[in-house]
Amino acid sequence: KNEVEQSPQNLTAQEGEFITINCSYSVGISALHWLQQHPGGGIVSLFMLSSGKKKHGRLIATINIQEKHSSLHITASHPRDSAVYICAVRSEYGNKLVFGAGTILRVKS
Amino acid sequence: NAGVMQNPRHLVRRRGQEARLRCSPMKGHSHVYWYRQLPEEGLKFMVYLQKENIIDESGMPKERFSAEFPKEGPSILRIQQVVRGDSAAYFCASSPMTGMNTEAFFGQGTRLTVV
> Which chain A residues are closer than 8 Å to B91 by Cβ?
42-43
CA A98/CA A102 separation, integer angstroms: 12
The whole-number pLDDT of residue B98 equals 64
Q: How confident is the model at residue A10 (pLDDT cuts 50, 70, 90)?
A: very high
CA B57/CA B50 separation, integer angstroms: 12
* B26 DSSP assignment: P
Of A45, A95, A99, which is closest to B48 when you measure between CB atoms?
A95
Of A48, A95, A101, which is closest to B42 when you measure between CB atoms?
A101
Give the mean pLDDT of chain B.
Answer: 92
Cβ atoms A4, A23 nearer than 8 A: yes
The whole-number pLDDT of residue B44 equals 95
Q: Is it the case that residue A44 has pLDDT exceeding 70?
A: yes
Please report, in tens digits, the pLDDT of each residue of chain B (115 residues total): 579 999 999 999 999 999 999 999 998 888 999 999 998 888 999 999 998 899 999 999 999 999 999 999 999 999 999 999 999 999 999 988 765 567 779 999 999 999 9
> Which chain A residues are closer than 8 Å to B105 by Cβ?
45
Cβ atoms B81, B18 nearer than 8 A: yes
- Tell me whether A100 touches chain B (CB under 8 Å): yes
pLDDT tens digits along A30-43: 899 999 999 888 89
